[in-house]
A = this chain, B = another copy of it.
Amino acid sequence: MTDEPRFAELRRRLGEVEDLRKARQLLQWDLETMMPPAGADVRAEQLGTLARLAHELFVADEVGTLLEELRPYEESLPYDSDEASLVRVTRRDYERAHRVPAELRAEIVRAGAHGIKAWQEARAANDYARFGPALERNLELQGRYVDCLDDGGDRYDVLVAEHEPGLTTVDVERVFEPLKAGLVPLVTGLEPPTGDALEADGGPEVVRGVLRRLGFDGEWGRVDHSVHPFASSFGHGDVRLTTYADGGLRAVYAALHEFGHGLYERGVSPALERTPVGEGASSAVHESQSLLWENLVGRSAPFAGWLAGVLAVDADALYRTVNRVERSLIRVDADPITYSLHIVFRFELERELLAGSLAAADLRDAWNERVAGYLGLDVPDDRRGVLQDIHWADGLMGYFPSYALGHVASVQIWERARADLPGLDEDLGRGEFAPLVDWLREHVHRHGRKFTTLETLERAAGAPFDPEPLLAHVRAKLEETA
C-alpha cells in the first residue's frame, strides 16, 4: 500500500470508531434529557458495550501498524496540515489507549451510569452516605485506569493529560497558585451584595430567541432542558445544548455558556468530521469558549444593554444583577470571581482521593472544611455541598482543573479578540455577534483537536496560561460594580 490508500484506510477505521463514540454520546444525551427513569439499567449496559467496542476497534493492531507506516507520510507534510495532525494526534491517543484493557473502559462507563443513578438517589435523600459506595467503586476503577498509564510520576498527571494533552499536575499548580494567592484576599474581603437582584423571566422562548440571534440555527442545532445544562455534538450538522427549563436569567446565562461549547464544535472544520481531531482541542479550551460567552460577552455592559432590551428590563439593573459577587455554596451559580476557588479545592480533594490519603467515607467532612477555609461558608447539607456536582458520580476525575484553566484562558483569548476587533463593544451592544463568531472560528474553532492545549492557546492568545489578565479583569469588575 502507498501512503494515500494507507491514510484512507486509517480514516475509514477511525470513522467507525467515531461513529461508535458519537452513538455513545447520543445515548448519554438521551439518558440526561429524554430517557424514562426505568431505562437506566439497560442503558448502562448499552453505554458499556459501545465504549468497549469503540476501544477495541481503536486499539486494533492494524491501527498501530498504519500509524507506524504513516510516519514518513506525516513527516513529509506540514505540522499543521489536517493529515499530519490527524496521524500525530491519533498516535498520541493510541499510545495511551492501547495500554488500557477494553473491559476496564467499559466498566468505567457502566459504573458511571450506575453512579449517576446512585448520586440522584443520594441527592433526593440529601445524604452523602448513600452515594459513598458508588464513589468508592469509581475511585477503584480510576485507580486501575491510572495504573495502566502510570509512568512513575505524579499519579494525577495521568488524569490531567486525559483532559489537557501535554499538561501535567505541576503545570496546573503553576497556574492555580498565583490564582489562589490573588483571589483569596479579594474573596475574603467581599461585602455581602446590596440591593435586590433583578428577576427577569421571559419563559423558554426568550432563551431560544437569544440563541437564534447568536446564530444558533435550528437547521443544525437544538435546545432542550435538563437538570444540569450541558452541550453535545453528534456531527458537524447536529449540535445540542440544554439549559434550565425556566426562562429566567439563570437559564439565559447557562444557555450562553453551553452555546460557547456548541459553537466551538460547530466551528471545527468539516474536513475533520468522523476523526479523532474533529472536536474541541481540550476541556480547558472548551471551557475557555463557554466562559468567554457566559462571562466576557454575557456580563459585559454592551451585551447586558442589548439583553435588557430583549427582556424589556432596566439595563443598569440587569448589568448589576449579572455582575453581583457573592461567596456561595454552589459552583455552577458562582460568580466569575469566586468561581476558581470552587475549582481549586476540588482539585486538591481529587488528588487526595486518588492518592488514597483521603477516604471516600471522609469526603463530606473534608469538603465542608475546605468550603469553610476557602470561602468562609458553612455547608448546611450535602445537596449544597459534596453532592452538588455530577462529575465524580459519572466517574469523571481530573476534569475540574480544566474549568479554572479555561477561565484563565477565556480572558487571554478575549483580550486578543478585543485587540483585533475594535468595534466589538458596539457590535455587542447592537446584538451583532458575527464578527466575534468569525474571529473565534478563525483563531480557535476550525483547528479542532489538531493541536495540544498549549499550542491551541498560543495560536489564539499568543501566550501560555497566564492568570494575570483574569486577576486584572476581576479587580476591575469589582471596582466598577462596587
Identify the A interface with B (CB < 8 A). 15-16, 19-20, 22-24, 26-27, 30, 34-43, 45-46, 48-50, 53, 218-222, 234-239, 273-274
Instruction: Please give, as numbers and ranges, the residues of chain B lying within 8 Å of A221 by CB-CB distance.
Output: 36
Are A238 and B22 in touch, CB under 8 angstroms? no
With A26-B26, A43-B234 as given contacts, are A36 and B274 in contact (CB-CB < 8 Å)?
A: no
- Which residue of the partner chain, among B34, B35, B43, B218, contacts A36 with CB atoms under 8 Å? B218
Instruction: Please give, as numbers and ranges, the residues of chain B lying within 8 Å of A41 by CB-CB distance.
Output: 235, 237
Are A220 and B23 in touch, CB under 8 angstroms? no
CA distance A22 to B273 in the complex (A): 24
With A36-B222, A39-B220 as given contacts, are A16 and B235 in contact (CB-CB < 8 Å)?
A: no
Instruction: Please give, as numbers and ranges, the residues of chain B lying within 8 Å of A220 by CB-CB distance.
Output: 36-39
Are B39 and A237 in touch, CB under 8 angstroms? yes
The 8 closest A-B pairs by CB, nearest first: A38-B237, A39-B238, A42-B235, A19-B49, A38-B220, A19-B46, A39-B237, A16-B49
User: Which of A26, A46, A218 has the most CB atoms of chain B within a 10 A radius of its CB?
Assistant: A46
With A22-B46, A26-B26, A46-B23 as given contacts, are A238 and B38 in contact (CB-CB < 8 Å)?
A: yes
CA distance A16 to B106 in the complex (A): 12
Instruction: Please give, as numbers and ranges, the residues of chain B lying within 8 Å of A239 by CB-CB distance.
Output: 36
How many copies of this chain are found per oligomer?
Answer: 2
Are A238 and B26 in touch, CB under 8 angstroms? no
Instruction: Please give, as numbers and ranges, the residues of chain B lying within 8 Å of A234 by CB-CB distance.
Output: 39, 42-43, 46
Are A27 and B23 in touch, CB under 8 angstroms? yes
Instruction: Please give, as numbers and ranges, the residues of chain B lying within 8 Å of A22 by CB-CB distance.
Output: 42, 46
Query: What would 12 A/B residue contacts be, using CB atoms closer than 8 Å?
Result: A15-B45, A19-B49, A19-B50, A20-B50, A22-B42, A23-B27, A23-B50, A34-B34, A35-B222, A36-B218, A37-B219, A42-B274
Instruction: Please give, as numbers and ranges, the residues of chain B lying within 8 Å of A37 by CB-CB distance.
Output: 219-220, 237
With A26-B26, A45-B274, A53-B53 as given contacts, are A235 and B19 in contact (CB-CB < 8 Å)?
A: no
CA distance A20 to B57 in the complex (A): 14
Q: Could you list 7 further interchain pairs (A-B, Cβ under 8 angstroms) beyond the known A23-B46, A38-B219, A41-B235?
A: A19-B49, A20-B50, A22-B42, A23-B27, A26-B30, A36-B220, A39-B234
* Chain B min CB distance to A69 (Å): 24
Are A34 and B274 in touch, CB under 8 angstroms? no
CA distance A373 to B40 in the complex (A): 52
CA distance A35 to B218 in the complex (A): 10
* CB closest residue in chain B, given A48: B19
* CB closest residue in chain B, given A19: B49
* CB closest residue in chain B, given A222: B36
CA distance A50 to B24 in the complex (A): 11
Instruction: Please give, as numbers and ranges, the residues of chain B lying within 8 Å of A30 by CB-CB distance.
Output: 26, 30
Instruction: Please give, as numbers and ranges, the residues of chain B lying within 8 Å of A38 by CB-CB distance.
Output: 219-220, 236-238
Are B43 and A20 in touch, CB under 8 angstroms? no
